[in-house]
Structure 1
Amino acid sequence: MGKFEITTRTNGEFQFNLKAANHQIILTSQGYSTRASCENGIASVRENSQVVANFERNKSTNGKHYFNLKAANGLVIGTSEMYESTSSMENGIASVMSNAPSAIIEG
């Protein structure tokens, strides 16, 4: 089972990481000014991760693949790690889709 880990950045902002059952980070959030808004971000990931069209697939300038999960309003709510291949990135998307709905919250 996956989990959302809430942490505090050095600037005092809250962020979350969605981790798969193997403890690998599969999605990282932006910074939030309050814990409540961070928890709202988690709720948004749970909902929006179930719509394939909400995943924006990208390629970085160094050729690596990554994705953003977007909310219905078009704002990015999470970004993946960098992947060597398109197939690895697609596996990452599938992992977010399967882990996010039932992931526990820690931190």
Structure 2
Amino acid sequence: MGAFVISKRFDDQYKFVFTSRKGKVIFTSMRYELKFECEEAIEYFKNNIELATFTKFKSPGNKYFFKLFLDGAQIALSRKYTTELRVQKGIDEIIKYASVSEILDFSDDDLIFTA
């Protein structure tokens, strides 16, 4: 099962990524000014996954990626993939696991591991 991971961006805004069962980032969300907006976006996505649309693209450098839309608005951008088949596998993993994935919050600046 994948996971949604909330973190802070360098500009102090929030984002979340969806990671695969193997821990690889599949997509990164747009930015959110407040953490609760980020959390609400994840919950809304999890509860409305069937309304999501995925638009596939090919970059000039022959890399494949997708944009994730919900209610007509872009909510995320995928990582780059080497083949169109891998893009589809990433999308399939989202559809299969997103609604039951846990949410991890790493947005606080607290150290998780101390030396």
Instruction: Name the TM-score, length of structure 2 as normaliser.
Output: 0.84
Percent identical pairs in the alignment equals 27
CA shift, 1:49, in A, is: 3.3
Give the aligned partner of residue 54 of structure 2: 55
CA shift, 1:70, in A, is: 0.1
- Residue of 83, 88, 91 corresponding to 1:90: 88
TM superposition outliers: structure 1 runs of 4+ over 4 Å: none
Q: 1:61 to 1:4 in 2, by over 3 A?
A: same
Matched AA of 1:55: F
Matched AA of 1:90: Q
Q: Report the Cα distance in structure 2 between the residues aligned to 1:58 and 1:9, rounded to whole angstroms.
A: 25
CA shift, 1:50, in A, is: 2.7
- Give the gaps of 5 or more residues in structure 1: none
2:102 matched to 1:104? yes
2:45 matched to 1:45? yes
- Give the secondary-structure state (helix, strand or coil) at the position aligned to 1:70: strand
Aligned residues: 105
Q: Which has the larger radius of gyration?
A: 2
* Deviation string, structure 1 residues 18-45 (Cα, Å, up to 9, x no partner): 1111111111101100011101221233
CA shift, 1:51, in A, is: 4.3
Q: Report the Cα distance in structure 2 between the residues aligned to 1:42 and 1:16, rounded to whole angstroms.
A: 8
Taking only aligned residues, the RMSD between alpha carbons, in angstroms, comes to 1.4
Residues 1-107 of structure 1: matches in 2 within 5 Å? 1-51=1-51, 54-72=53-71, 74-107=72-105
